[in-house]
Amino acid sequence: MDRTRKGHEIYVSSMEQSAQDKTRIFPFVREGTIIDLGAGAGPVTELLSQRFPTSKIVAVDNSSEMLGLLQKRFEATPNVQVVKGDAQTFKYSQKVDSIIFISTLHEVFSFNNYSHQIVIDTLKNAFNLLNSGGRLIIRDGVHPEQENLYLKPKHKESYIRLFRFIKEFKVRPMVYSEGTFHKDSFVQHKSNNFDEFTGDNFLIEMHSQDISELLSKYFYEESGT
């Protein structure tokens, strides 16, 4: 539990540290009602509220833990409203002037079995919330080249955390193998599975995009918590 809590702190800290870089999208923001869709702990929301003090900033997230952080952070900030909502289906009581997706759409993609259609539907939903002349602004990463790569976690705890990721995210089929490492090559002796973990000679073949998602996440909460 301590490792998970520490991982959560690192995750939130990383969002705080990268917030200033994300302000490069601000010249494209149209003032009025601004939706930060997938606000996380709220570092960009805070910068939006400071840059656009006469605008209404709506911080939207679906995580109960993030919503708690948002409520605490903005309880004394009059131009920020915190709303629980899902990026795919979010609705608002009126048309808005800007909707911002910062590091959100890749989550929509990976949480929904890598469905491009879900991403398209999410963008259509957001577009329909905009006033005439409104802005839809996206800042996100680019997925890696499509290939299979190999993981060798350093200890059993790493495998346990990986297994949680596998259970909670819809990853592609993986191959568990046991064999011998020779510099940059791996000679497979037999196929294996997670429950038969044996240590240093255990290798996991995994799709590059799944590995990218794994490495970008610092903690994994059980569903419903």
Helix-strand-coil split of the chain, %, nearest 5: 40, 25, 35
Instruction: Tell me the CA distances in angstroms from 200 to 147, 149, 154, 155, 225, one per residue in order.
Output: 24, 17, 8, 8, 34
Write down the residue that tokens 């708690």 correspond to: 68
Per-residue confidence of the chain (225 residues) as pLDDT tens digits? 344 555 555 555 666 666 777 889 999 999 999 999 999 889 999 999 999 999 999 999 998 889 999 999 999 999 999 999 999 999 999 999 999 999 889 888 877 877 889 999 999 999 999 999 999 999 987 667 778 777 777 776 777 777 777 776 666 666 656 566 666 666 666 555 555 555 555 667 777 777 777 766 544 443 332
132's CB contacts (< 8 A; 6+ apart) are none
What pLDDT score does 220 carry? 41
Which 3 state secondary structure label does DSSP give 90? coil
Task: Please tell me the distance from the alpha carbon of residue 85 to that of residue 77, in angstroms, as a whole number.
Answer: 20
Residues paired with residue 34 on neighbouring β-strands, in sequence order: 57, 98
Distance of CA 141 to the CA centre of its chain: 10
Amino acid at 105: L
pLDDT for the residue numbered 88:
93
177 - beta bridge partners?
A: 191, 203
The CA distances from residue 111 to 28, 38, 103, 164, 173, in Å, are 28, 14, 13, 14, 15
What pLDDT does 76 receive?
A: 96
pLDDT of residue 187: 66
CA dist., res. 4 & res. 26, Å (int): 33
Contacts of 93 (CB under 8 A, 6+ apart): none
Separation between Cα atoms, residue 143 and residue 216, nearest integer Å: 12
Cα 38 from Cα 31, distance rounded (Å): 19
Q: What is the pLDDT of residue 169?
A: 64
Q: Write the DSSP string, 161-198.
A: HHHHHHHHS-PPP-EEEEEEEETTEEEEEEEE-GGG--
DSSP helix/strand/coil, 133: strand
Domains within the chain, CATH numbers bracketed:
2-139 (3.40.50.150), 148-216 (no CATH)
- Tell me if residue 151 falls in helix, strand or coil: strand
